[in-house]
Amino acid sequence: MKPVVFGLGTFFLVCLGFSLLSSHVGTAHPVPGETEAHARFVDAVKKLQLGYGWRNLTCSFCKALFIIVDVSLGAEINEERVARMVAEVCVKLHLEEEGVCRQITELFRDDFIRALQESFLWPSEACGVLLGPDCGHFDIYAPWNVSLPAVPKPPVSPPSPPQPGSPRDRVLFLTDVHWDREYQEGSSADCKEPLCCREQSRHPPWLHRAAGFWGTYSKCDLPLRTVENMLQNVALAGPWDRVYWTGDIPAHNVWAQTRAQQLQELVTVTRLIQKYLGPSVTVYPAVGNHESTPVNSFPPPFVHGNRSSSWLYDTMAEEWRPWLSPQALQTLRHAGFYTEQIQPGLRLVSLNMNFCARENFWLMVNSTDPADQLQWLVGILQEAENKGEKVHIIGHIPPGLCLKSWSWNYYHIINRYESTVTGQFFGHTHVDEFQMFYDEETLTRPLGVAFIAPSVTTYINLNPGFRVYYVDGQYPGSTHLVLDHETYILNLTEANNRTRAGVSGPDPNPKWTLLYRASEAYGLSSLFPSDWDGLIKTFLADDRVFQRFWRLYHKGRGSQPCLDTCKTATICFLRSGRYDDQRQCAQLGVSRREMARAIREKTLC
């Protein structure tokens, strides 16, 4: 039904396009030559009460806005005129600055409306995407299940620590670089746009902080010199057995990006990694949600032509050819995921987590295992089990933030292959955390942990950082489990303000220093799933330990103590490796609404 499609498409284009942006107060300006229908529409919007932004959008307002848009634009079939009206809604509702509103609607217009033309979502489902399950249900094709082989699950043996002196692998982990090519020292670090510290950043008259040389504590990304400095430091800190790199290369200026710019940034950072780490270190990349433009736009493989992601995957395959086998490059070109044997007894799987992301609007067409990725994963894991191999999984978005059906299927797969999957590594949230996996029968026996490493970028108000994992090494009977990990940061306060001979200025060669080592910070003898489960219990019993975690969660940046609802929602997230699993949170007193709000905050990356 065309009116529904275009009304919903317009509504989504307004709101979903801003799911990665913060809300700010803007100034409304009329669009020249408004049609009579357009004027009636704007008047109706005004009556809803201005001042709404993404963070305070309510369910009732969401559905009311959909109805108004649908009625007002039901007969509007010109995509350019639809986008113009959507931009005006964005401006009138103060969702963003006027320039951002107009650019992002133009950027999203073609792909988004194309996806909506093939979708059958209703208002409650649309609002469920934006605001969570309390407002509506999005998985319109759910529940769906992957098929597991009719092979009995092998008996489970609890892991044992390796013998003293056993080999260890040292794995460098990089995620969320977010290089901003327009970063400018001295520009405004406090601006009205979603991303600051840029030449065009306008500062409010009552506040003006200048962007620092190496980076800034604000809603700013990094200059290339900081990325390069990090790579120089990690090269000196080697040797590395391998590198896991889980994406998000471009900056957060998602309203003004082109394919050419995205590819140039992909090529630039890839070649810097190759330059500093050298040809002897293999890097295993994963695709982030910011690699595409429009952001989060990852059509499944059945979408062909100019709308497909081949422009991105083909360049990745060319640039990552030194690291990956022809077989891995083939599936990378197909849909952005691959598998590779790292060493005898250990295999890596790199997942394209954009096929589970709520923000990927192409999933409105069909969210049932897009690209058959999970079914492919089952096949890889079964073959690994048959061979006695262990498997590490890397990806960008943590599985607990995925669409419910995808997340629950993934959880089910990890349960079945718990003796095979001995490492899961993700990024995306920019902070330092983890998520637990328990047996599906009782949800009490810990069997897996997804490590979520902090970002390289400062966005938002963070020190730049990277992670090092120490993994049980290559020898007969190795578990290939994570034994310990370290987090390193660049202290921007010191790096930007070094005093020499009475003159203060940026340190020309700042050092990235150890923030903490997990085993020492938390008193853990190992980092097995049972240890992390025990640490969560300690958080509940000893608030001092939890507040230490909260400081490290922000990469050492001072923050207010996390108390009451903040603490329980955080612990709920740590325990919930699958989305919308209330059983892990009920005893903590966390409501579904509170958890949905906390998860929505994590998807703004």
**Residue carrying the six token digits 């070109």:** 333
Give the DSSP H/E element, type plus range, for residue 330. Answer: helix 326-335
Rounded Cα distance between 474 and 477, Å, is 9
- List the structure tokens of 587: 């005893």
Neighbours of 605 (CB within 10 A): 24
Rounded Cα distance between 546 and 221, Å, is 28
- List the structure tokens of 318: 């060319």
The SS3 assignment for 475 reads coil
- List the structure tokens of 316: 């990745």
554 labeled binding residue: no
**Count of helices and strands (H, E) across the chain:** 18, 14
178 labeled binding residue: yes
Neighbours of 466 (CB within 10 A): 24
Q: Determine how β-strand 446-452 pairs with β-strand 421-426.
A: parallel
Give the DSSP H/E element, type plus range, for residue 60. Answer: helix 59-73
412 labeled binding residue: no
Give the DSSP H/E element, type plus range, for residue 347. Answer: strand 346-350
Q: Of 291, 351, 279, which is closest to residue 322 (Cα–Cα)? A: 279
CA-angle at 89, arms to 88 and 93, nearest 5°:
120
Rounded Cα distance between 204 and 415, Å, is 52
Rounded Cα distance between 391 and 346, Å, is 6
- List the structure tokens of 195: 């991303």
Rounded Cα distance between 141 and 503, Å, is 64
248 labeled binding residue: yes
289 labeled binding residue: yes
Do residues 579 and 404 touch, judged by C-beta distance below 8 A?
Answer: yes
Q: Which residues pair with 285 in a beta bridge?
A: 245
Q: Of 117, 16, 110, 5, which is closest to residue 62 (Cα–Cα)? A: 16
Rounded Cα distance between 91 and 87, Å, is 6
Give the residue numbers of the binding site for Zn(2+).
Answer: 176, 178, 248, 289, 396, 428, 430
Which residues line the annotated binding site? 176, 178, 248, 289, 396, 428, 430
